[in-house]
A and B are shown apart, each in its own frame.
Chain A
Amino acid sequence: MSLSHVARRAASAAACLVLLAACGSGAAPPAGSPDAAASGAGSPAGASTAILQTSGEGPGGSEAFDLQPGDYVLTWSAAPAAGADMCHHRAALETTDEEIVQPVVDQDVTAAIADQQVPLDGQVAGTYYIDVNSDCAWTFRVDPRP
């Protein structure tokens, strides 16, 4: 995910669905569609594709996705929305029963930030989602730890 990609999303007034493939700049989401989709249960061993890839603008979150025990890495990017000088980006990785609420980012964004990695070591098995408290344009991706 490139910085320019984030910037293009910032120019878009609406979030868009990403499932292991980018949607077009300015594409409006289908009515009622979720912000993200998951690729099913993740396995850190030998996986070669992202378990989750999602993007949006403003508050929201991903769809639920499963993780098996193991190490992962979360990658995020964020940029102020079109016309804004800055934004605040905060998010947490949570189990869907909210027994685990795991903050992953909480910072002001004054210019586009791309591909920040947060290690998720020793993750317990469960169904997770990403809860996003942000007024930025943003992307998240979860991959098995190489």
Chain B
Amino acid sequence: MLALVLLVTPLTVSAAATPASLAVSPSAARSGTQVRINAAGFPPNASGQLTFDGSASGMPKYRTSKSGTFSVMLTIPAAATAGTHTVAAQNTQKNGGKGGGAAAATGIVASAAVEVLAPTPTPAPTPTPTAPPTATPTAPPAATPTPTPAATPTPTPTATPTATPGSTPPAGDLQPSFPMRGAFYYPWFPEAWNQQGMNPFTKYHPTMGYYDSGSAYVIKQHVAAMQYGGIDMGIASWWGQGSRTDGRIPAILANTAGTSFRWTLYYEPEGSSDPSVAQLTSDLAYIRDRYASDPAFLRINGKFVVFVYADPADACGMADRWAQANAGIDAYVVLKVFTGFRNCASQPAGWHQYGPAVAASNQSGYSYTISPGFDKANEATRLGRDLTRWNQNIRDMVASNAPFQLVTTINEWGEGTSIESATEWNSDSGYGAYLDALHANGTGPVPAPTPTPTPTPTPTAKPTPTATPTPTPTPTPTPTATASTPPTPAPGDQVLLAAGDIAGCSSSGDEATAKLLAANSGTIITAGDNAYDSGTATEFANCFGPSWGAHKSRIKPAPGNHEYLTTGASGYYGYYGSAAGDPSKGWYAFDLGAWRIYALNSNCSQVGGCGAGSPQETWLRADLAANPRACVAAYWHHPRFSSGQHGSYVAYKPLWEALYAAGADVVINGHDHDYERFLPQDPSGQLDDAHGLTEFVVGTGGKNHYAFSGTFAPNSAAHDDATFGILKMTLHANSFDWQFLPEAGKTFTDSGSRACH
């Protein structure tokens, strides 16, 4: 551990009247501990990234105030050596909030020199702080998602083919046997949600939302879903060495460990080019050396398996190239069929069809492939969905006894061939009607006809050029487009609209979000900090009243800390009257359709605490016991879990424990001025898909934004810190849908569905 003394020399780059500068404090710190970075003279409402010696790794992002300042904590890298180091601030974009002036400059705005001195034997005067949480966060979406499979990078032939055939199977290698059921799988999200000017690029609404393929939770859910459907192995789309899909294979294999499920790769570059024999050899050796010995990789007769896509022009020459490339590798290669494939001199180990515009394809002796439908996001329907037909296709596939029985696809959402659960075909099992049918081998009951997909993707303002189009199998366009209809709420459904951190007289964000309230019927809940700066009666009247106040009769409020900057939150209770509950408590409950909803007061010191045995927690447990419901939601101001500047509040764990014990489903908070959704968790923050609560932080009511703290908390599934908006929840009798509605002119959204416990 080095003792550091930070000698700060502000440097200026800005030509503004007040030069941009950084200051670091305290002036002495240890490596691995946090120092504060204060900045002034920056452009207003700009966001950016801090770097340490040019590296952004582990460094926080920042967002400047309207006066061009910011202050963030920075952890000195533990590996920092004695000597001079540099902390720099680099603007990345201009925030469009009120008060913004000219566009902010990008690039380094200011930096400060930091002198790291040699360690001293004198103990530091303060206890060594624990390093900030290091749990691996969900990877944030790329700033500019590459539309699906980007061009295959130029591979580096890192592995020289050797005479050693095949992979080395682990001891006790457990593998499926023929006939085996497989499914094509696409680990290319979130980047593939945004393609061809559409985001999300799909006509459907996956139950897990617009997820990240790198999420361990998502991978495990997919493996569980496929196993439920009797699928033995996944065929993961692979775009070459160093591609994004390549980068996700290790996590896929790791998160399959301990199951009987197996993975192979779908070699995609053959679909858009004719890779040389040397290239194919290099790629096969790469797969062999990186993945093929993993217990979760598919092997047949000890040989690692690779499926190969192909383009319509491919013929026997492709089979020849693969035979040559595989001569010294001895992989189990399964090529995509083409006309005359059976007559080629070179014959791979297997053949398959990938043509989801056709419901079923029997390649006798090799494979049988079925498709639920083909309805690409920006095209007319090629193959409509029909669960009766799907069940028949499954029965035919099983009866064929083909060695490979294949499904196109698990999650090619852009082409609309997915069978994982979606709002459009969800089911009581949680896996959706198509996997239910596979589970029953096509012999189960057929649900009601599938509703027409609702195309809701929001075109982005600037269409993204498509580098490499999504593989388009068997193009047989149908000239008639599927008509779109808005979703119709079922009888008894209720709508809940939510946000916190709302109105200030100097901001216009609340006017923007109030327009969303005006456009949507339903009950409105506020997650605290209704009126800034201090929740006075005047601020409620003059700042909140003109915007959200127009919908006051629909509001069920909760107080935030700003309300209590006025003694007893008297402005808040005076404004809302009985709608806010007992002013000495601030908590209350109400029914909304089949749901029980709890408004809680997280200003604990004002109401006798929030811990176990406190008046509020005792009341909550009693009311939950007295009012059992299939679906329960609660909302308050301070979040139990958050990646924002204020972070996660462990103090609310007892409230979570009460809700969790009662089988509650949803928690909505504010406080951090951003949007964040967490995967279902238990009160300790562990993933718990069976009983966990889905938490939303919706501090997007309009006051202002500030950036995330730099590291996303575990299980953070969706996040945005630059969009005002509201959360719209449609409450069904046994499930709920969520959708973040952005302010006009913004495109960020997040939506999904989930069953109640």
Contact = CB atoms under 8 A, between A and B. Distances in A.
Nearest to B60: A103
B749 interface: no
Given A63-B565, A121-B23, A121-B38, A102 B71 contact: yes
Contact of A96 (B562, B604, B609, B651): B562
A42 to B, nearest CB: 17
A129 interface: yes
A143 interface: no
A56 B604 CA distance: 11
A134 B648 CA distance: 10
A92 B645 contact: yes
A97 B26 contact: no
Given A31-B584, A101-B706, A113-B127, A59 B649 contact: yes
Interface residues of B, number: 56
Contact of A111 (B127, B130, B649): B127
A99 B533 CA distance: 10
A92 B73 CA distance: 10
Nearest to B26: A119
B645 A103 contact: yes
Main SS at interface, chain B: loop
For B27, B69, B652, which residue has the most chain A Cβ atoms within 10 angstroms?
Answer: B69
A23 B577 CA distance: 34
Contacts of A106: 34, 73, 129, 132, 647
A124 interface: yes
A14 B609 contact: yes
Given A14-B609, A119-B25, A129-B565, A108 B130 contact: yes
Contacts of A131: 561, 646
Contact of A60 (B126, B605, B611, B650): B605
B606 interface: yes
Contacts of A59: 602, 604-605, 610, 638, 649, 651-652
Interface string B127-153: 101101000000000000000000000
Nearest to B645: A101
A100 B69 contact: yes
B73 A103 contact: yes
Given A92-B646, A98-B532, A131-B646, A58 B611 contact: yes
Contact of B36 (A15, A99, A103, A109): A103
A129 B535 CA distance: 14
Interface string A44-68: 0000000000001111110110000
Contacts of A127: 533
A118 to B, nearest CB: 7
Contacts of A135: 650-651
A8 interface: no
Contacts of A31: 584
A39 B703 CA distance: 28
Nearest to B653: A135
Residue among B23, B611, B638, B649 with the highest chain A CB neighbour number at 10 A:
B649
A16 B50 CA distance: 39
B65 interface: yes
Contacts of B23: 121-122
23 contacts: A15-B605, A32-B567, A57-B605, A59-B610, A59-B638, A60-B561, A60-B605, A88-B650, A96-B533, A97-B533, A98-B706, A101-B645, A101-B646, A101-B706, A102-B38, A104-B36, A106-B34, A106-B132, A106-B647, A107-B129, A108-B129, A122-B40, A124-B67
Interface of B: 23, 25-27, 34, 36, 38, 40, 65-67, 69-73, 126-127, 129-130, 132, 501, 504, 506, 532-534, 561-562, 564-565, 567-568, 584, 602-606, 608-611, 638, 645-652, 673, 703-704, 706
Given A97-B504, A131-B561, A135-B651, 5 more contacts: A31-B584, A56-B605, A59-B649, A98-B532, A108-B130
